[in-house]
Amino acid sequence: MPSFLYSQFLVRPPYPKGSLDGQTILITGANVGLGKEAARHVVRLGAARVILGVRNVKAGEEAKKDIEASTNRAGVCEVWEIDLASYKSVLAFGERISTLPRLDSAILNAAVATRNLELVEGYERTITVNVISTLLLGLILLPKLKETKVNFPSTIPHLTFVVSEVHGWVEFKEWKEDKVLKLLSDKDRANMNERYPLSKLLEVLVVHELASRVRGSEVVVNMLNPGLCHSSLAREGDWKFAVFKFVLARSTEVGSRTLVAGILNGTEAHGAYMNDGYVDGEGMSPFVRSAEGAKARAKVWSEVTSILEGVRPGILQNI
């Protein structure tokens, strides 16, 4: 909590600078909030093609118009539909990605936060969207990112995951049990009050493992914490959380700077956890960095990738 308050009150992430000239950038969850403002920065920095991955196409088209009008760069943004609650949708999105001439970086920002337990694709929706489908999409994107590095050697492809510092605010006692994700999806066992933080802990674990398996010279895999920001993510929160956000939250634009920082660094950021737009060697929670955390990471990775092999056999070969 002290580090959280320090960042929220005393640290202002730097305004994104640099050049993305000629690059193709993908941002999911880009019709609102952090994703939309990150897309605005990316367009401003000269990207040639910016793919807005959205569930709500109408809202995506409105975001496209707003971004292009504010940056005076018409015809740069494209709205592509993707619903992380559907494996079929993610796979179809991946097929479209495979047709691109290049993909320089992807910011996987789409997520859900809810206290209502609903099963999609056999698992609780937050787990499916924030963990299983997010890793599925990341693995699908890897071949195109690697290909881009081969065909455009000067680029540094990035696969960047938006996580959260709240991953360190929750216990994960269930990791030692069998079929952890099924357990977390059991309506009689699930603690939905802490579901979002737990989903982000699971995401940190699988991204940490993924980065250890990918060569940073081919694709930089990293993750970032944008801090508490004004966005639509926690629209199901109660009045207490609304007050909490009013007092502490960063503006959406300031928070979005951290997303763009995730793709502007070099290979030194491979496998890194970023806070406030900078690599933070101690940003991952003590549990994640512990021996117990390493065991949990291996177990969660095994379970999630087993699910993904069922969705698309051979997908681990993309690594």
Q: What is the pLDDT of residues 35-45, one digit of tens each?
A: 999 999 999 99
Between helices 2-10 and 239-248, what is the axis angle to 10°?
A: 60
Residue type for position 28: T
* Residue 81: φ, ψ to 5°: -80, 135
pTM above 0.85, yes or no: yes
90 within a domain of the structure (yes/no): yes
Separation CA 136–CA 150 (nearest Å): 23
Judging by DSSP bridges, how do beta strands 158-162 and 220-225 pair with one another?
Answer: parallel
47 within a domain of the structure (yes/no): yes
pLDDT score of 138: 98
Contact between 167 and 204 under an 8 Å Cβ cutoff? The reply is: yes
Q: What is the mean pLDDT of the chain?
A: 93
Expressed as residue numbers, the domain containing 290 is 2-9+19-318
Range of lowest pLDDT (55-59, 166-170, 202-206, 224-228) = 224-228
pLDDT score of 141: 98
Q: In the predicted model, is pLDDT for residue 10 greater than 70?
A: no
* Arithmetic mean of pLDDT, 226-242: 64
* Arithmetic mean of pLDDT, 157-178: 95
Q: pLDDT band for position 4 (50/70/90)?
A: confident
Closest listed residue to residue 29, CA positions, set 111, 88, 129, 130: 111
* Arithmetic mean of pLDDT, 157-180: 95
187 within a domain of the structure (yes/no): yes
Range of lowest pLDDT (43-52, 141-150, 185-194) = 185-194
Q: In the predicted model, is pLDDT for residue 265 greater than 80?
A: yes
223 within a domain of the structure (yes/no): yes
What confidence tens digit (pLDDT) does each residue in 72-106 have? 999 999 999 999 999 999 999 999 999 999 999 99
pLDDT score of 144: 98
10 Å CB burial of residue 314 (0-12, 13-18, 19+) is exposed
pLDDT score of 12: 80
113 within a domain of the structure (yes/no): yes
Contact between 42 and 64 under an 8 Å Cβ cutoff? The reply is: no
Q: In the predicted model, is pLDDT for residue 314 greater than 80?
A: yes
**Sign of the torsion formed by the C-alpha atoms of 13, 207, 181 and 26:** positive
Residue with tokens 């360190």: 168
253 within a domain of the structure (yes/no): yes
Q: Determine what percent of the chain is predicted with pLDDT higher than 90.
A: 88
Which residues, including other chains, have CB under 8 Å from residue 30's CB and lie 6 or more apart? 36, 38, 39, 52, 53, 54, 60, 63, 109
Q: pLDDT band for position 243 (50/70/90)?
A: low
- Count structural domains, the chain: 1
pLDDT score of 34: 95
User: Which residues carry out catalysis?
Assistant: 196, 200
Question: What is the chain's alpha carbon radius of gyration, rounded to the nearest angstrom?
Answer: 18
14 within a domain of the structure (yes/no): no
Q: Determine what percent of the chain is predicted with pLDDT higher than 70.
A: 92
